[in-house]
Amino acid sequence: MQQTLKTIALSLALGIAAAGAASAEPVKVGFAAEPYPPFTSPDASGNWEGWEVEFQKAVCAEAKLDCVITPVAWDGIIPALTSKKIDIIIGSMSITEERLKTIDFSDKYYNTPTGVIGAKGVAFDATPEGLKGKTIGVQVSTVHQDYANKYFGENGATVKEYQTQDEANNDLAAGRIDAVQADAIALDAFLKSDQGQDCCEMKGNVKDDPAILGAGVGIGLRKGEDELKAKLNAAIKAIRENGTYDTFSKKYFDFDIYGG
């Protein structure tokens, strides 16, 4: 009888351990496999760093998730999520009505304006009238592509699509296009670089259109994963309230990136 009880106890212990191991299965965090400073960029050793990497680590620690960075091509990142090649997206993805048809989102974790940059000494502003007759570069499969097509492409501008933001910035610096539209913070980082400060300047922020540009940036996840979504939302709220969010943000920004 005693031996039987020991056997049962051992079986229960093994079962609990197995359940614990299963719950600790790594969460694959997808983001674009390209430099996107100050949010993500590889260092000299190939390790990813930046504001969004620190955000990801803070959220995963707070939610007690074992997260693994998993870079993915941007134009295939949503299919990678829905096909379970990755588990969540923490990659500056705007929460839009169009994307919500396919995936779900956490609460927002930052919200910043959309800007347009162009060559120094060439006067124009970030409006359909200002960009008429000009060529503006945007990254493919982004809200910026959708916005530029609607507001600039339909009003006399040529919209040129690029696989990465770097490619668009490089073409602007080389004089092959007239302007680039992207997140204002990412553009500011480019303008502070050696290449950017020599060639280009901010022309202004575009007029907001939440239906296209979204309601801030959130963590993308598959529909129906309500328990994971609740954990992520609780973690975002916690690091905002306990000061962790502000602590790492101050290393990158002198303003509140969370936005209104």
pLDDT at 123 over 50: yes
Q: Please tell me the distance from the alpha carbon of residue 117 to that of residue 122, in angstroms, as a whole number.
A: 11
Q: Is residue 180 within 8 Å of 138, Cβ to Cβ?
A: yes
> Per-residue pLDDT for 23 more than 60?
no
State the chain's mean pLDDT as an integer. Answer: 92
SS3 label, residue 140: coil
Return all residues near 107 (Cβ < 8 A) that are at least 6 apart: 218, 233, 236, 237
Q: What is the pLDDT of residue 132?
A: 98
Instruction: Please give the pLDDT value at position 7.
Output: 42
> At residue 121, what are phi and psi to the nearest 5 degrees?
85, 0
Domains located in the chain, CATH noted: 23-111+215-249 (3.40.190.10), 114-213 (3.40.190.10)
pLDDT higher than threshold 90 for residue 18: no
193: pLDDT confidence band, cut at 50, 70 and 90? very high
- Is the CB of residue 107 less than 8 Å from the CB of residue 236? yes
DSSP labels, 108-130: EEE---EEEEEETT----SSHHH
For residues 232 and 59, the answer to whether their CB atoms sit within 8 Å is: yes
Contacts of residue 110, defined as CB under 8 A and 6 or more positions apart, other chains included, come to 216, 217, 257, 258, 259
pLDDT tens, residue by residue, 210-249:
999 999 999 999 999 999 999 999 999 999 999 999 999 9
pLDDT band at 25 (very low <50, low <70, confident <90, very high): confident
Give the residues across from 182 on adjacent strands. Answer: 115
pTM of the predicted model as reported, rounded to 2 decimal places: 0.84
For 95-117, the pLDDT digits (tens) are 999 999 999 999 999 999 999 99
- Determine what percent of the chain is predicted with pLDDT higher than 70: 90
What is the band of 52 on the pLDDT scale with cuts at 50, 70, 90?
A: very high
Q: Give me the mean pLDDT over the 31-59 stretch.
A: 96
Burial of 112 (0-12, 13-18, 19+ CB in 10 A): buried
Give pLDDT, residue 8.
40
Over residues 135-160, the mean pLDDT reads: 98
